[in-house]
Structure 1
């Protein structure tokens, strides 16, 4: 039950973000969705730690993700910016919510599929739903840090939202935790860096979130190159085998 309780808490957190957005509390709305993302990362690890994985839990997790990272960000961004350009803005919000649902449906359909080249190499297919939600809020992070209204411009926000929606349903390889294997010589430094990032989130949350988004976007070409190297190595092994 514990992993499913955490999943339900993530769902409640994401949907509560909509409630804050209706009240105009943008900071709490965004942070509620981010908290849902943290809880979403915890529930699966708890399930594996307790050996409590189940098909019910997987289905509940996907449903919660669709609402917390698809519908909630779309509605929050629509109320924050996109409603000033109602037609284009609403289509962008719909595209994001639909693409998130399609990504999760593809994930569920492939759970029992053996032929998953990205997964077998330790990569993901497309941008994960929680990461997509975090990236979708990048214009808001920039608006909070700079106070420039250009980052709230509905046309630009619509284009950005549509781009993230495309990345979620794309077939490009993206980094997963399993594909990140730092050398032992730098692990202490990475632990220290993780602690500093957490401290930065407490002191300067919006600048830190901007930095995290920039780093993730910068690593996407690296993921493609690394996956291409894995594919070439596999072809060479198959040819010699």
Structure 2
């Protein structure tokens, strides 16, 4: 180096090493916990413990509702987290309810039983795929079709209620299981599955902000709701999700009667295959 040269101008010719991408632990911790809830539910159903199976799916629902909010609150959203969340939902709210309801009641219906379970599972996969591809064009206030956690709550809530009334399903109790209950489970499974892939709008609650102040009566109402649930969790939770699971058709009919657009697609796309979704 000659006198007067500035040493700070020297540049290292070695190529910079690409920075390794990591994953955010906090939101993915909730996602993995939700995945465990679905896996736990399947294992419990295989052992004939259907009440615990229902609890596992409902716990997965709570955890699934938290991972996205945690990611947004901590600014830790990532593409990896989105894909992980979809895979977790497919297990916990797609495969798990289908396998559990088949093991609980649909085995007595033969081929019709496993066909209903497969239709539910396939509709859950289609619903999740459509949700991911239409994420940028759907009105955030509504879901396009019944969300998969709510569909799982309909199926698993029904099992939980019937189990609490003494209807012990499963292969070992199939000779005592009433056939009408198998057909009712069949209807619930098909309804929940097919409603997931409709264009019926279901309120998403995404415009509810926890950062806003609320009147004191709201806190009192929340406390009363928690107390009501503890009276008999299976019946109360199942009843709430039955109301939600049919509310979309009420909204659809009300919008039709008022002459308002019923599609939840907010903006159109240029793809011809998507044209039917915007009408």
TM-score normalised by L of structure 1:
0.83
Structure 1 gaps, min length 5: 233-241
Aligned residue in 2 for 1:77: 101
Q: CA RMSD in A?
A: 2.7
Residues 78, 153 of structure 1: alpha-carbon distance in 2 compared, 3 angstrom cutoff: same
User: Which structure's residues are more often helix, by fraction?
Assistant: 1
Aligned residue in 2 for 1:49: 73
Aligned residue in 2 for 1:68: 92
Aligned residue in 2 for 1:104: 128
Q: Which has the larger radius of gyration?
A: 2
Structure 2 gaps, min length 5: 1-24, 168-176, 262-279
Measure, in 2, the Cα distance between the counterparts of 1:152 and 1:79.
16
Listed as ranges, the matches of 1:1-241 within 5 Å are 1-111=25-135, 113=136, 115-116=137-138, 118-119=139-140, 122-144=141-163, 146-147=165-166, 153-178=181-206, 187-224=215-252, 231=260
Over residues 82-131 of structure 1, what are the superposed CA-to-partner deviations in whole Å (9 max), with x where a residue is unaligned?
111121110111111110011001111123x4x33x33xx1111111111
TM-score normalised by L of structure 2:
0.72
Residues 179, 5 of structure 1: alpha-carbon distance in 2 compared, 3 angstrom cutoff: closer
